[in-house]
Chain A
């Protein structure tokens, strides 16, 4: 039991700079909450004071942000200054990670959508962009033999303009045209292409132009 508790405590420190700071200030109450041998207490008290414990904390964050940044770059972009707050909230409320890209990003997508629904996150673009990138990610991992290689995502802003602005890392204007748009992501030819589906808004057959080729 003791080694297990030592490992739980060490992992808690790596995940929480706040806990490290508390233990540096006064290790006794922090370490008392773990059932440790005296040698393990001394080891952990020394480790939290080690300047390299901060590197563990940084690597924990790097490892958790990597799948989000790799597969959801536009979501990160539309979150802008809100990204850091959302990540910290996500990490503090979802300690359970398994470092697998797909489940970790699925959890983040669910978290963001819930934050939008409850009004805790007010960002007019995030829901459609996170849905779009989640669909693209699914297709990247799909089997050409057994999975459907086409996805549809609903947008409430002009997707051609929105996606092109994000691709260029441009600021998003406040007056982007709104409407009901259906975007088709198609990976059947081995490469992902993006186009507008026929809609009831008179856009039949119109393609998304410059965003046709996603990668």
Chain B
């Protein structure tokens, strides 16, 4: 089953929205071909079953309403927690569908991980960070079923992002590329290949990032994320700390040349690093990504 991109349009180079960006976007909108947004940061989620559950944050949504008519938007979700055992939130999915109708997002993506945990009292709590799922057959079946549910609900390509992980889960039934290939091959989701996640995992777990991406079915890669990172307590982390390292650019060039269905390259940084980048720094990162995009996809 390969259904992830037949009708989707190539966009080019985009940026992941964060609260430091409104001024940049008001003055440099021509620097991006699309904007990726995390819908969960535009509302307060008052919890499953709560009346008026998704309370929108007025000031944030006003900016999105300004942005939407001017530039294509795509979704990079945080709240689905598609890897959570015994928890798949249909109210949240319905909220994404409502927002899709409202903003006509070009595609949706989510993280291949879990953060929400079903609690014994019927509620839930949050792990406080995205944690990896085991690459086992039963987990593949669980996530595959959910991917199909998302695709039935939202009429747009749905992508899952390869995870960054620190303590590795041993004795898994599949490698990460095998797991990702089966998800896209059998369940029709695209892959959001986060190159900085690959770079971070390669450093911390000692594998060859080029071999990792070459083991993937790169025809399923519809979006690429690029970012920077830094060391925290002696470990390289995916902190989105400003400009991309050189090895991320090399890997981006390598993958972009082979990912024939690629729709866009998204630069992401954490808002707290805006003073390091400034508008000029953001423009430089976007221009470098555009050079690579145009070399292979113009």
Do residues B58 and A42 form an inter-chain contact, with CB atoms below 8 A?
A: no
Do residues B129 and A52 form an inter-chain contact, with CB atoms below 8 A?
A: no
Do residues B58 and A145 form an inter-chain contact, with CB atoms below 8 A?
A: yes
CB within 8 A of B84: which of A7, A14, A143?
A: A7
Do residues B169 and A43 form an inter-chain contact, with CB atoms below 8 A?
A: yes
Do residues A63 and B84 form an inter-chain contact, with CB atoms below 8 A?
A: no
- Give the distance to chain A from B84, nearest Cβ to Cβ, in Å: 7
Do residues B171 and A143 form an inter-chain contact, with CB atoms below 8 A?
A: no
Q: What is the 8 Å Cβ interface bit string for chain A, positions 59-70, against chain B (1 contact, 0 not)? A: 110111010001
Do residues A97 and B233 form an inter-chain contact, with CB atoms below 8 A?
A: no
Q: What is the 8 Å Cβ interface bit string for chain A, positions 61-90, against chain B (1 contact, 0 not)? A: 011101000100000000000000000000
Residue on A nearest B238 in the bound complex, by CB? A59
Do residues B62 and A52 form an inter-chain contact, with CB atoms below 8 A?
A: no
Q: Give the contact stretch, choosing among A99-107, A161-169, A170-178, A200-208.
A: A99-107
- Give the distance to chain A from B66, nearest Cβ to Cβ, in Å: 12
CB within 8 A of B232: which of A62, A103, A146?
A: A62
Do residues B44 and A14 form an inter-chain contact, with CB atoms below 8 A?
A: no
Do residues B85 and A42 form an inter-chain contact, with CB atoms below 8 A?
A: no
List, sorted by A's number, 28 A–B pairs whose CB atoms are closer than 8 Å.
A3-B134, A4-B117, A7-B84, A7-B85, A7-B131, A11-B117, A11-B125, A14-B129, A43-B134, A46-B170, A47-B167, A47-B169, A52-B166, A54-B235, A55-B237, A56-B129, A58-B233, A59-B128, A66-B272, A97-B125, A102-B44, A102-B57, A103-B44, A140-B59, A141-B60, A142-B59, A143-B61, A145-B58
Binding site for A on B (CB under 8 A): 40, 44-45, 57-62, 84-86, 114-115, 117-118, 125-129, 131, 134, 138-139, 142, 166-171, 204, 232-233, 235, 237, 272
- Give the distance to chain A from B202, nearest Cβ to Cβ, in Å: 14
Q: Does A95 interact with chain B (Cβ within 8 Å)?
A: yes
CB within 8 A of B235: which of A48, A52, A70?
A: A52
CB neighbours (8 Å) of B84 from chain A are: 7
Do residues B170 and A147 form an inter-chain contact, with CB atoms below 8 A?
A: no
Residue of B86, B169, B232, B237 ringed by the most chain A CB atoms within 10 A = B169
Residue of A64, A100, A141 ringed by the most chain B CB atoms within 10 A = A100
Q: Does A123 interact with chain B (Cβ within 8 Å)?
A: no
Q: Does A26 interact with chain B (Cβ within 8 Å)?
A: no
CB neighbours (8 Å) of A55 from chain B are: 166-167, 232-233, 235, 237
Do residues B128 and A11 form an inter-chain contact, with CB atoms below 8 A?
A: yes
The answer for the CA separation of A3 and B166 in the assembled complex, in Å, is 19
Do residues B126 and A97 form an inter-chain contact, with CB atoms below 8 A?
A: yes
Do residues A47 and B85 form an inter-chain contact, with CB atoms below 8 A?
A: no
Residue on A nearest B125 in the bound complex, by CB? A96
Residue of B60, B128, B171 ringed by the most chain A CB atoms within 10 A = B128
The answer for the CA separation of A96 and B127 in the assembled complex, in Å, is 8
Do residues B57 and A141 form an inter-chain contact, with CB atoms below 8 A?
A: yes
Do residues B118 and A4 form an inter-chain contact, with CB atoms below 8 A?
A: yes
Query: Known: A95-B125, A100-B45. Is A4-B85 also a contact (CB below 8 A)?
Result: yes
The answer for the CA separation of A10 and B129 in the assembled complex, in Å, is 11
Nearest 7 CB-CB pairings of A with B: A143-B58, A11-B127, A52-B166, A4-B85, A3-B85, A50-B167, A55-B166
CB neighbours (8 Å) of B44 from chain A are: 100, 102-103
The answer for the CA separation of A15 and B129 in the assembled complex, in Å, is 9
The answer for the CA separation of A4 and B81 in the assembled complex, in Å, is 13
- Give the distance to chain B from A116, nearest Cβ to Cβ, in Å: 26
Residue of B44, B125, B134, B167 ringed by the most chain A CB atoms within 10 A = B167
CB neighbours (8 Å) of B168 from chain A are: 47, 50, 52
Residue on A nearest B46 in the bound complex, by CB? A103
CB neighbours (8 Å) of B128 from chain A are: 11, 14-15, 59-60, 63-64, 97, 99
The answer for the CA separation of A64 and B86 in the assembled complex, in Å, is 25
- Give the distance to chain A from B117, nearest Cβ to Cβ, in Å: 6
